[in-house]
Amino acid sequence: MLYYNIVIYHCYVEMSMEEKTPDTLVKIQQAAMEEFSEKGFLGASLRQIVKRAGVTTGAFYGYFSSKEALFATIVEPHASTLMSRFMEAQTTFAELPEEEQPQHMGVESRDYVAWMVDYICRHREPVKLLLCCAEGTSYENFIHDMVKVEVESTLRYMEVLRRMGRDIPQMSRSLCHIIASGMFNAIFEVVIHDMPYEQALRDVEQLQAFYTAGWSKLMGE
């Protein structure tokens, strides 16, 4: 108990000696970005983050309660933005009258994907942490979570087409999952491999054309 109190006291003294300033926070987050990027969340060392930042352990705990909390402050704004915009696009489409959905299908998906590519290219480093370095955190299944939503949306849309009299072949949930997973992982490749912005836009536009043709074939169109 005495040892614990001494440790807490020293952390308090360190934190008091080093004021909480915006500059200190930026140093910690930048150092964390480098450490997480090189080693992933699981391999990243809190001691190394503090050392890279040139601050004390006490100063660190003045801002963050843990390594997990630090990681979350970096990726959460982007995970939340990407997922909320994705869900908004899904909801907007699902709420259309069924007879209008076919004519909006390509437009809605094209607009969302164009926005997403622009966003992830403009926030490359934190998005790359989200996609590549999140194992061991609550964000490690981020892409998988998007895929699950996309699969459910796809299956619902196929039922809409059947109710409209379209002769839509039966497709397994597993196949829909494979297709959706391939699509999202392919789109995020533009960030993972640091593609230039204009090339990323062109590549994803062609990727969409590829997937559109594939879906048309599967749908018997």
> For the segment 104-126, what is each residue's pLDDT rounded down to a tens digit?
877 778 889 999 999 999 999 99
Asked whether residue 154 falls in the same domain as residue 53, the answer is: no
Q: What is the pTM of this model?
A: 0.85
When the pLDDT of each residue in the chain is averaged and rounded to a whole number, the result is 88
Asked whether residue 94 falls in the same domain as residue 13, the answer is: no
Comparing C-alpha atoms, which of 188, 201, 159 is closest to residue 176? 159
Q: Which residues, 6+ apart, have CB-to-CB distance to 166 below 8 Å?
A: 219
* Alpha-carbon span 133 to 28, nearest angstrom: 18
Of 19-28, 130-139, 199-208, the one with minimum mean pLDDT is 19-28
CB contact at 8 A, 51 and 88: no
| Angle, CA 198 vertex, CA 86 and CA 119 arms, to 5° | 25
User: What band does 37 get if pLDDT is binned at 50, 70 and 90?
Assistant: very high
Count of domains in the chain?
Answer: 2
Predicted confidence (pLDDT) per residue in 162-188, tens digit = 998 888 888 899 999 999 999 999 999
Q: Which amino acid is at 165?
A: G
Q: How far is CA 63 from CA 20, 59, 103, in A?
A: 8, 7, 50
The reported pLDDT for the residue numbered 7 is 42
Q: How far is CA 215 from CA 144, 148, 202, in A?
A: 20, 18, 20
**Burial class (CB within 10 angstroms; exposed 0-12, middle 13-18, buried 19+) of 115:** middle
The reported pLDDT for the residue numbered 20 is 62
- How far is C-alpha 174 from the chain's CA centre? 22
Q: Which residues, 6+ apart, have CB-to-CB distance to 183 below 8 Å?
A: 150, 207, 211
Comparing C-alpha atoms, which of 119, 20, 8 is closest to residue 60? 20
User: What band does 19 get if pLDDT is binned at 50, 70 and 90?
Assistant: low
Q: Which amino acid is at 45?
A: S
Which CATH number do you get for residue 13? 1.10.10.60
Domain assignment present for residue 69? The answer is no
* Alpha-carbon span 152 to 131, nearest angstrom: 22
The reported pLDDT for the residue numbered 103 is 84
Asked whether residue 48 falls in the same domain as residue 90, the answer is: no
Range of the domain at 23: 2-64
Asked whether residue 36 falls in the same domain as residue 97, the answer is: no
| Angle, CA 171 vertex, CA 166 and CA 176 arms, to 5° | 115
- Asked which of 26, 44, 64 is the last residue of a domain, the reply is 64
User: What band does 8 get if pLDDT is binned at 50, 70 and 90?
Assistant: very low
* Alpha-carbon span 217 to 8, nearest angstrom: 65
Asked whether residue 104 falls in the same domain as residue 33, the answer is: no
Asked whether residue 16 falls in the same domain as residue 58, the answer is: yes
The reported pLDDT for the residue numbered 109 is 81
Domain assignment present for residue 200? The answer is yes
